[in-house]
Amino acid sequence: MDFIQESEPDLKKPIVIAAMQDMGNVGGIVIDSLNKQLKTQRFRVAKSSYPTYVIDKGGYIDLPDENWEYRYTNDLIVFGGGIGQPQTNEELHSLCQDVIDVAKKYSSKFIYTLGGFHTTRELNNSPKTFVTTTSSQLTNQLEKLNVNFTPQRSVITGFNGLILGYAKMNGIQGIGLYGELNDPEIPQCRAAISIIKTLEKLTYQKLGDISELEYMAKDIDEKTKNRWSSNFRQ
């Protein structure tokens, strides 16, 4: 993994929000929305050192441009989004450590991550966001904010879980937010909206207009319904 520092932002104890593409692309949708709504600026880039696949464009191949951006605004660092996650454990751990190093460099006290929470519960277009933290003490502090905590023991894989472990090992408080979804194969904009609303409650910050995400959610619903109806007729 290669890391390129493009500028040195003036940040004072920023909150770090870090997430990567996952099931339903919840992490990617939230990160991309925050960057757009908050007009963040790029200051650092992480790039895969070696490709783990090639793209066949029909008769010829191209190499993937796998990179993830660190962006900032108003004492907030936003990392990740984009396409995919590192394909090797070595690069995944290297990326998690770099996020921690950046957080320490700017004296960040909090790291938030986010992703999808697969459930069979009927959501009725109103998914919940479940919260977990790096300590029972922090969980106790959040109880007064009326948030939903993860309901049972589970394993959280990939960057959106592992970064919490790195935060805990390095003495940084971490909070994970995971939005409910039924179908991991469809972009889950409503789960992303639920996460953003919960994130605003936890950070006491307004994180932008969600109307575009609401429009995207309705558009995906319509396309999914039409595809289901077409398959049913066949």
Domain locations along the chain = 2-228
Average pLDDT score over residue span 83-93? 86
Residue 229 has pLDDT above 60, yes or no: no
* Residues 130, 150 contacting (CB under 8 angstroms): yes
pTM: 0.90
- pLDDT classification of 228: cutoffs 50, 70, 90: very low
pLDDT, residue 63, reads: 82
What gap in Å lies between CA 75 and CA 73, rounded to an integer?
6
Dihedrals phi, psi of 121, to nearest 5 degrees:
-65, 140
What are the tens digits of pLDDT across the range 132-190? 999 999 999 999 898 999 988 888 888 999 999 999 999 999 999 999 999 988 999 99
What gap in Å lies between CA 88 and CA 145, rounded to an integer?
38
* Residues 191, 24 contacting (CB under 8 angstroms): yes
- pLDDT classification of 48: cutoffs 50, 70, 90: confident
Stronger pLDDT, 224 or 215, i.e. the higher one: 215
pLDDT, residue 232, reads: 42
What gap in Å lies between CA 225 and CA 174, rounded to an integer?
38
What gap in Å lies between CA 217 and CA 190, rounded to an integer?
6
pLDDT, residue 79, reads: 97
Average pLDDT score over residue span 57-66? 86
CATH code at 2-228: 3.40.50.10900
Reduced to 3 states (helix: H, G, I; strand: E, B; else coil), residue 61 is strand
- pLDDT classification of 226: cutoffs 50, 70, 90: low
- pLDDT classification of 227: cutoffs 50, 70, 90: low
- pLDDT classification of 233: cutoffs 50, 70, 90: very low
What are the tens digits of pLDDT across the range 109-118? 999 999 999 9
